[in-house]
Amino acid sequence: MVCRNEARGLEAVERVRADSGNQDVHLKVCDLASLAAIKALAADYLASGQPLDVLINNAGLMLHERTPSADGYEINFAVNTLAAFALTQALEPALHAAGGGGASDGARVVFVSSGGQYTEPLVVVDLQAEKMKKFDGTLQYARDKRRQIAMAERFSEQWAAAGQRTRAYAMHPGWTETEGVKTSIPGFYNAFQSKLRNLQQGCDTTVWLCLQDATALQPGAFYLDRQPQAKHLPLSGTKYSAADVDRLWAALQPLAAPALP
């Protein structure tokens, strides 16, 4: 487990150990808003020599005031987009070392996206929302979640082209009752609290993607309730091209460089 807050992370570790009976659960402390911290985390894991079977990019943030990260980037973008991109790349050696001998046994990366992505196109130029007249954290979050879907697509394509068995998937947990939803979008939470999913329901598809036979999965797909979903709503104008993803990659790569080996 990777957590920013050590005390809360240790509490979570103890709960998982108690609930599962598995004592082989460990904590790494890392602030994913810091590229230096991401680099240290990845270096520490790679130095262990252990393969990495699954990476779940679950860390998320929705702040409504423009706030700089440790590296000076808008912090929603820094955590939701840049950290997921950088950490995945930094851990590629361990991911590619995972799996058995079968063609379907490679590692998998899961991007925990959101249904909020349906509202936004793939923004590849104004990554830090500097052109917004009034900063909107909800809007920026939706853009980040759209970018995560593009990342799942492109990482899967790149790895397949390189002969690697690692694959990436994106998913929407459904609208789930979490502290993040309660504090980040309180109006939505108060209006729909009785209809929100519980934590077990929210994490079901993430766990399923980690355990399902890879031959039954679609690399780069966007999943909800264990089923691939359309990535765009009709007439939404959110569709993008491979060239758009190329531009996203070209923009993110130099920003992520300080976190990479």
Please report the domains of the chain, with CATH numbers, ordered by start residue: 52-259 (3.40.50.720)
Partners of 3 in the beta sheet? 29
The span from the CA of 97 to the CA of 93, in Å, is 6
Residue 169: is its pLDDT beyond 90? yes
Question: With 80 as the cut, is the pLDDT of residue 255 above it?
Answer: yes
**Confidence class of residue 209 from pLDDT cuts 50, 70 and 90?**
very high
Distance of alpha carbon 41 from alpha carbon 223, whole angstroms: 28
**Distance (Å, rounded) from C-alpha 84 to C-alpha 255?**
12
pTM for the model stands at 0.92
Helices (H) and strands (E) in the chain, counts: 10, 7
- Tell me the average pLDDT of the chain: 93
Q: Per-residue confidence at 197, pLDDT binned at 50, 70, 90? A: confident
Q: Do residues 208 and 226 lie in contact, with contact meaning Cβ atoms separated by under 8 Å?
A: yes
Residue 141 among the catalytic residues: yes
Report the chain's terminal Cα–Cα distance, integer Å: 21
Task: Give the mean pLDDT of 52-70.
Answer: 96
What residues are paired with 29 via a beta bridge?
Answer: 3
Region 172-186: mean pLDDT is: 69
Judged against a pLDDT cut of 50, whether residue 122 lies above it is answered with yes
Q: Which residue has the higher pLDDT, 153 or 261?
A: 153
Query: Which one is catalytic: 45, 73, 141, 240?
Result: 141
Of 109-118, 185-194, 217-226, the range with the lowest mean pLDDT is: 185-194
Cβ burial, residue 130 (10 Å; 0-12/13-18/19+): exposed
Exposed (0-12), middle (13-18) or buried (19+): which is 41, by Cβ within 10 Å? buried
pLDDT at 151: 99
Distance CA 233, CA 245 (A): 19
pLDDT class of 102 with cuts at 50, 70, 90: very low
Cβ-based neighbour number of residue 182 at 10 Å: 14
- Let me know: does 74 contact 109? Beta carbons within 8 Å: no
